[in-house]
């Protein structure tokens, strides 16, 4: 799982905390492939970057997997649930799972 923070004009005062986005792949991450068809290739950073301005919000991106929706396993989901619980315990102010 990769971890990257994106500060979108965030004011990091003592009470500020990031929203943590966990990207698993799935339909939203599908994009054209050079060999034809589509593959899960867009990262969480790619998805956040496509949203536009997120004034005052710090987003911590964690790429948990990069698989098509049909290939998501119970293990993928349980790993993200554990990681999300850890993020909340560490002070995240919100969790986004995509």
Q: What percent of the chain has pLDDT over 70?
A: 84
- Asked if residues 56 and 17 have their Cβ atoms less than 8 Å apart, the reply is no
Residues 6+ apart with CB under 8 A from 31: 38, 39, 41, 42
Tally of domains in the chain: 1
pTM over 0.85: no
CATH at residue 40: 3.40.50.1170
**Which residue segment(s) compose the domain that 93 sits in?**
2-97
Q: Which tens digits make up the pLDDT trace of 14-59?
A: 357 899 999 999 888 888 888 888 888 888 989 888 887 677 888 9
**With bands split at pLDDT 50, 70 and 90, how would you rate the model's confidence at 3?**
low
- What distances in angstroms separate CA 56 from CA 21, 50, 61, 68, one per listed residue? 16, 17, 16, 32
């Amino acid at each position: 799982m990769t971890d990257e923070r994106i500060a979108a004009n965030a004011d990091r005062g003592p009470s500020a905390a990031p929203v943590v986005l966990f990207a698993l792949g799935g339909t939203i991450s599908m994009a054209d492939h050079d060999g034809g068809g589509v593959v899960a290739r867009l990262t969480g950073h790619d998805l956040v970057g496509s949203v536009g301005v997120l004034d005052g919000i710090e987003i911590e991106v964690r790429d948990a997997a990069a698989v098509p929706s049909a290939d998501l396993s119970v293990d993928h989901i349980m790993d993200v649930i554990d990681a999300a619980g850890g993020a909340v315990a560490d002070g995240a102010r919100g969790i986004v799972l995509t």
